[in-house]
Structure 1
Amino acid sequence: MASSAGLALCGQALVVRGGSRFLATSTASSDDDVLFTYDCSTAEKPQENKGEDGQPVDKGSDTILASTFSKSGSYFALTDDSKRLILFRTKPWQCLSVRTVVRRCTALTFTASEEKLLVADKSGDVYSFPVLEPQRCGQLELGHLSMLLDVAVSPDDRYVLTADRDEKIRVSWAAAPHSIESFCLGHTEFVSRIFVVPDHPELLLSSSGDCTLRLWEYRGGRELHCCHLTSLREPAEPCGDKRFAASRIAYWSQESCVALLCDCIPVVYIFQLDASRQQLVYKQQLDFQHRVWDIAFEESQGLWVLQDYREAPLVLCRPVGGQWQAVPENAALKKVSAHVQENWAMLEGMAGVDVGFSGLYKATFDNVTAYLRKKEERLQKRRQNPPPGPNGQAKKMKPGEASVRS
């Protein structure tokens, strides 16, 4: 899977990434904050893998594949297509280490204690890398038989949750990852995103290629609620019958608000989590005229939206009278948007990148229909050219005889 432009927020620290570069700034309205930029193409290159003939193989680009903040915002990490894991300190911004990962990664997360960084890769493995010893190599923690698409940890660091291409969500003990607490089973396609609700740590949100958003009590593997996204689509949405999956689940604890961004439509779905009734309540959808790359909540401001539109790369939405809507440009939005516009070159190459999950859907085969079609073709040929009889003349076929001999 390719990587699109991305947005990350923690406190007032905001990161926008595209291609091999990212910029970090603050959403504070003051103008004295320092803009930090980084380009992975300038980072230390890992040792090249070589084939049997001694030539380098599997050489990747420097495109950023995934990135995340730690819980406190003190650290930021990313992984790129050149199989590097790069760790930063954010106060002030400084690159702490560049480490090599075994395979290209799909997702990463910090533990709540910020002592480890967990990295999930395409082969189905999760490796842990120490944060306080930024030069130390990682170690294998657990593995799946299929590609991992997301990884999360419980707020108390007791459980590691992993989502894979084969419709499974696994809940493992962090102290002994070979010990599995439960499976959350019910999705009928790959699980694209998982999210443990911070203020309700027993609850898990998951999205899938089956066009559903589900709520779980994950320790028991119990599904609490299922929202079918296709039933929420309005006729005006330009998606037709195309399947879609969520590319981001964001949560705003102020109003227990869940925002869901899907990978092929410029729409953000808004839900409210009713924890007492253990269900999700659909509220509204936000429509955009341009492709939406990513979304993230800021507790003090609202929902930030990164879109493919240079004139207004960022949109800030807030609830007004019970309905979410874009707010007029304020000082913070104007300042951050100006930074993104000045660095728009890193996002220009993202416009034509297809980052959907279309390649992950299960292929279906109708062998019976193909068999019957070929059988009928054989019967037609036998009727038109019957086999010769004993005297060399074409034998007259009896009705139904061709069917029996076939």
Structure 2
Amino acid sequence: MTTSSTFAIIGGGLAGAKAAEALRDKDFDGHVVLYAAEEHLPYERPPLSKEFLLGTKQFGDFTAAPSAWYRDHHVELQLGTEVSAVDRAAHTLSLPDGTTASYDKLLLATGSTPKRPPIPGADADGVHYLRTIDDAAALNSLLREGASLAIVGAGWIGLEVAAGARERGASVTVVETAEVPLMAALGREVGEVFAAMHRDHGVDLRLKTTVEEITTSGGRATGLKLGDGSTVTADAVLVAVGAAANIGLAEQAGLATGNGGVLVDASLRTSDPDIFAVGDIAAAEHPVFGTRIRTEHWANALKQPAIAAAGMLGKPQEYTELPYFFTDQYDLGMEYVGHAPAYERVVFRGDLRGREFTAFWLDAENRVLAGMNLNIWEGLDDIKSLVRSRERVDPDQLVGA
């Protein structure tokens, strides 16, 4: 690519910032422009439900790069600019002021949006959703000693906020339709560990329970009315029932979509050879698992952009990193690697009751699909090797028998 080429990036999160960084690291000397819908510098999102709520990190601690970096590396940063359309034939983008901008290569890193369930009262004042720094700041102002918070959903966001709120002295009720927290992500066996931990820390955890209504008074949320007829009184409500990938722009452009995201090959190229997609929206062919995988986790936003940048520069590579995510709740730290949407059983090594163990998810042929270290900070590379090998293992050896 020549210095007259323009590479456009749509998305102001970590993935967008890392894409700009990767292009410069790979010596692209053309024009790089990053369009961010928010007015803030691109930033990482995991601290929003962790350290930011605990007060141990401020916004400047988790911006992807300071403003000086964009200036020094000649990256045009268009904050508060939401691209409304992509014209693939003309290679142009429609901007909010009615103008268009040209691109030679385009990277979509548009992230995801919290789901808004069709619950009466879901749009009332005092109902919170957590995706942006502004969302986190609004929630942060409410979490004080003696406050009460009702959380709809016992996924990662819901549980991390519950932990932060309890550590700040707020009372917390979590309502979840599944039998255990994190059922979809981890399954029953490990979900029960998280259920016990939150109850040990004073969370009122209501499982197998639906929310019929977010109750209000004067247009402001006052709590929840549950499917079993009971009610929960709260100063504020957090709805955390998952997220939907922001694929509207890709659909408008006529790109192939599926699996809840934008279909990309292992090099993260879409159905248009000049457009790539990374992060939450990328439903990518995975060489290790032989299937498409789309995950909404920090690791993809961090590592996929370098692969996409290589492809944009005409030197395609494959993204072979295993899915990875982590959480911090109370005194618990966890790292998970692999992909186990359907598994036969889970085996444990270590102290399950004391919450210091390694878990392995196995298929019917005793191949390791995924592994997780909980309060153990070694051996993750060994887990990765087991997952990548696709070899059968002896479960008794895994547990140290």
Relative contact order higher in (CA < 8 Å, ≥ 6 apart): 2
Bigger Rg, structure 1 or 2: 1
Q: Which category describes the TM-score, using the shorter chain as reference length?
A: under 0.3
Query: Which one has the bigger helix percentage?
Result: 2
Query: Which one has the bigger strand percentage?
Result: 1
TM-score (norm 1): 0.25
